[in-house]
Amino acid sequence: MNALLKTDYNFPGQTGVYRGKTRDCYFINDDIMVMIASDRISAFDVVLPKGIPFKGQVLNQIAAKFLDATTDICPNWKLATPHPQVTVGLKCEGFRVEMIIRGILTGSAWRDYKNGCREICGVKLPDGMRENERFPEPIITPTTKADEGHDLNISKEEIIAQGIVSKEDYEVMEDYTRKLFARGQEIAAKQGLILVDTKYEFGKYDGKVYLIDEVHTPDSSRYFYAEGYEEKFEKGEPQKQLSKEFVRQWLIDHNFMNQPGQTMPEITDEYAESVSDRYIELYEGIIGEKFEKTDCDDLAAVIEKSVNEYLATR
């Protein structure tokens, strides 16, 4: 198995590096960021000990396609994808807020609702809703970005009152969020999918609000299959979905939710390969194109060469 688990590059003009759970970001001349989508995978706020071949390529290519498909809505950070696992873009000053938008009551929102909650992030919800029911219109439920652990729910009013984001910038982000989600739903519908919920991150560059990070990937979004949705909803049956939820469920089935005293289950090569196959299935379902695997021989060296060649042209 050839999965990219770690990188340690020193690119020309490099001024810093940040390694997240699944991506490594290299800063060039303080205005460019090289983001490498590794094959690491995380769940329950922990990075699993084995990588998933082609996962980074899947996510990076989906994000690149959606960034390109939404440039008429708002500016975004992407400049180029010199390698299928790499995006080079503008280094934006990120807002410490994630804009989560939901079209259907499911996931954590449903769990809270089922327990009696009728307000999420300042948004009031009607009584009598059922799991996987569409909202009358999509709702935005932002969270504050945490350095470690879970992000925290917060309302628009609290964000503005605490000075986390200015009222002017927040309203721009809110407008972009609704328009991006509508576009994502349109594209998903053409593939027989429903974009259920997703998150967007924004930053500022040269005084303007930019869309940053990944967009509409199965790690940041939830998709349902449109076929059978209404029938399953009426019967109260689980929806068939495209997301990385299957990895979380596998861990739950093996008694792991990153709670004290729990042990990470063994991840065999066979299971990692099966997860890789599922990610490729996600790509083909969302994009509607056959996935072309990159040559994995000495992947780290190929990525380094591709980035260096791109940077030399700037």
The CATH number of residue 130's host domain is 3.30.470.20
Residues of the chain predicted below pLDDT 70: 1, 146-150
- Write down the residue that tokens 């925290």 correspond to: 152
Residue pair 303/85 in contact (Cβ under 8 Å)? The answer is yes
pLDDT for 150 equals 61
Task: Provide the number of structural domains found in the chain.
Answer: 1
Cα separation, 172 vs 167, whole angstroms = 9
User: Domain range holding 207?
Assistant: 94-242
pLDDT for 221 equals 94
Determine the straight-line distance between the first and last CA of the chain, rounded to whole angstroms. 34
pLDDT for 287 equals 95
pLDDT for 134 equals 97
* H or E stretch at 95: strand 93-105
Q: 92: which DSSP letter?
A: -
Cα separation, 255 vs 43, whole angstroms = 13
Whether residue 177 is contained in a domain is answered as yes
Whether residue 132 is contained in a domain is answered as yes
Whether residue 149 is contained in a domain is answered as yes
Whether residue 161 is contained in a domain is answered as yes
Cα separation, 181 vs 188, whole angstroms = 10
- Write down the residue that tokens 């009728």 correspond to: 118
pLDDT for 149 equals 54
Cα separation, 25 vs 171, whole angstroms = 28
pLDDT for 29 equals 94
Full-model pTM:
0.92
